[in-house]
Structure 1
């Protein structure tokens, strides 16, 4: 799934987990670049494909900046407008509201001014939505920090499809570990020392997926 951060328009490209990087690149060129041009930046998860040397070199050659999100901690915002209207600068005419959509007669300078004003307004709405969500999260968030010598448990749910732990469904453990902390990344993430069986996954995790390891004596 590829989503434009400004307009929220999306492309859904059918891909298999074992598809090659060559196939991903061809789909990307055909479905995204030929329609929308070269993006300034791309935010993605830390899938091995997106973190590969080829993908990094390919985007660097295009002049696109790659930003990797913190593992398993996405967020969404609202633009308060239909993606079609934001992307094309007009409402979508459909059988349901055919008469409500008029053909706008705009010349070049007017189109540029109107588009610029819409972009400014959308950015304001995105920032407002982001600030609002952050304020909600700050109220619920409990300050959680670990010391360098601490060991932590890792929440299992993000690992679905990456590795199995012998049991499935309700019998699957909620946390695995303990794992040694290697470093703090920014203010909300930590890098862990993972065993070989988890080598396919990125080792940096948001603090919400960790809890301190404690020994219970009976």
Structure 2
């Protein structure tokens, strides 16, 4: 990409630096390098960029004052105000989150804890069967034996050999405990 800038008469390197700042850097940022067919005199960084500490910015160093603002300056006072407002807003958000969590937890049920060896029913919701439609199918399959608990909300079940294409780990919401009948035989 070439940028052609019209000038009148001869200009100094400081004038050229000012033109670069006002017309090129504001649109494209600082260049990483300058390639010129005019020889090494054209691309002497020390002369071209001595205006307004541009050399420091080309080396990607930041001015110390821009990082550490004096606390007595207007910018420092504004920074203190922003920090105090940010602290108040963060405290309000934390308070709102605690309130919302309290109300949301009212409707949450504690997941059942199945021990290894326990029998559970498996919801047929995500299981493909050979039946032509889902409507007459069983809602619960099993019972199956729990092998072990995986994480806080998943269980590994012992599935029949013909179900080898089905992954044996299921979320607790798909499981129901088998209730023993009060009637013998």
TM band (smaller chain): 0.3 to 0.5
Q: Which has the higher contact order (CA 8 A, sep 6+)?
A: 1
